[in-house]
Copies of this chain bind each other. A is one copy, B any other.
Amino acid sequence: MSRMRTNTPIYQRVADDLRAEIADGTRPPGSQLPTEAELQEKYAATRYTVRQGLAALVNEGLIVSRRPLGHFVREIHPMVYRPQQEFRKKQPELDIFTQLLADEGNGRQPSQEIEVSIVQPTSNTLDRLKLADNELLAVRRRTRYIDGEPYNINDSYVRLSLVQDSEYMSPVDVARGTNQVLADLGKPLVRALDEIYVRMPKPDEVTRLKLGPGTPVAEHVVTTYTFEDEPVQVTINIVPGDRHVIVFERTREWPPAEQGESA
């Protein structure tokens, strides 16, 4: 037969075989994969080669390696992330984040770290808030946890001059909600623009959110506006893909009538 062209590289076959077994349920979430040594034998390859195959799966987010224990099929526990909920009528006692989770009905314990500081605008915030020149911004940085594990990052930017001396600046949970604080300051938020970017995380996000390799994130940027279409607040959420489903609901503007507006 001589040199039958085997085309697909060995490490690919390792990855493909394992991926198929994970997909069809042969290897359920949480189960341990063969060790590198076992794979070496099975594929008659060196450790380097089988490691390459495993690395591919790690980068696809399908498996994780726990250092001296082995490789395991990844388990995911997505929670529902519902940007619109923020605009719904709500019990004003509950913080929005807590309320979101309450919807789930499971007993997971949310908590958050809040940190308020003053920063110079970046290009991100600068043109979304249509800032004049180097006006300063107040930023409320929140990292939110469930059962002690970080779940997402939520940084809100507003013009410092607007919220100076207000409750907005206090690094604690604001019971009535920061949106209410802004409304009380004469800037009720009635419109929002959501932008969602899907990408791999930056190194600092990896550490802040304890992300495993192969975990993409959604960068969810919300710009909120007043009646008069004045942008007031930019919120940047970093939402790990392995822990969230983003959910929106929509209704048609016009039930089949042409032109006619019937809200």
**A256 to B198 alpha-carbon distance, docked (Å):** 33
With A190-B262, A198-B217, A241-B198: A16-B249 Cβ-Cβ less than 8 Å? no
Minimal Cβ-Cβ distance residue in B for A258? B89
- A227/B59 in contact, CB under 8 A: no
- B245/A248 in contact, CB under 8 A: no
With A89-B259, A191-B262, A262-B190: A200-B59 Cβ-Cβ less than 8 Å? yes
Say yes or no: is A192 at the interface (Cβ < 8 Å to chain B): yes
Chain A 68-96, CB-CB to B under 8 Å as 1, else 0, gives: 00000000001000011001110000000
Number of copies: 2
**A145 to B10 alpha-carbon distance, docked (Å):** 33
- A198/B244 in contact, CB under 8 A: yes
**What residues on B are CB-neighbors of A196 within 8 Å?**
196, 218, 245-248
**What residues on B are CB-neighbors of A188 within 8 Å?**
255-256
Say yes or no: is A185 at the interface (Cβ < 8 Å to chain B): no
- A194/B248 in contact, CB under 8 A: yes
- B259/A227 in contact, CB under 8 A: yes
Say yes or no: is A50 at the interface (Cβ < 8 Å to chain B): no
Say yes or no: is A41 at the interface (Cβ < 8 Å to chain B): no
Say yes or no: is A177 at the interface (Cβ < 8 Å to chain B): no
**A252 to B242 alpha-carbon distance, docked (Å):** 29
- A192/B250 in contact, CB under 8 A: yes
- B16/A203 in contact, CB under 8 A: yes
Say yes or no: is A150 at the interface (Cβ < 8 Å to chain B): no
Question: Min CB distance, A75 to chain B, in Å?
Answer: 14
Question: Min CB distance, A183 to chain B, in Å?
Answer: 7
**What residues on B are CB-neighbors of A239 within 8 Å?**
198
Say yes or no: is A27 at the interface (Cβ < 8 Å to chain B): no
The 9 closest A-B pairs by CB, nearest first: A198-B241, A216-B216, A194-B248, A196-B246, A192-B250, A190-B252, A60-B200, A59-B59, A198-B218
Given contacts A59-B214, A87-B253, A197-B245, list 8 more A-B pairs with CB under 8 A. A88-B253, A183-B256, A191-B250, A193-B249, A196-B247, A197-B241, A198-B216, A199-B241
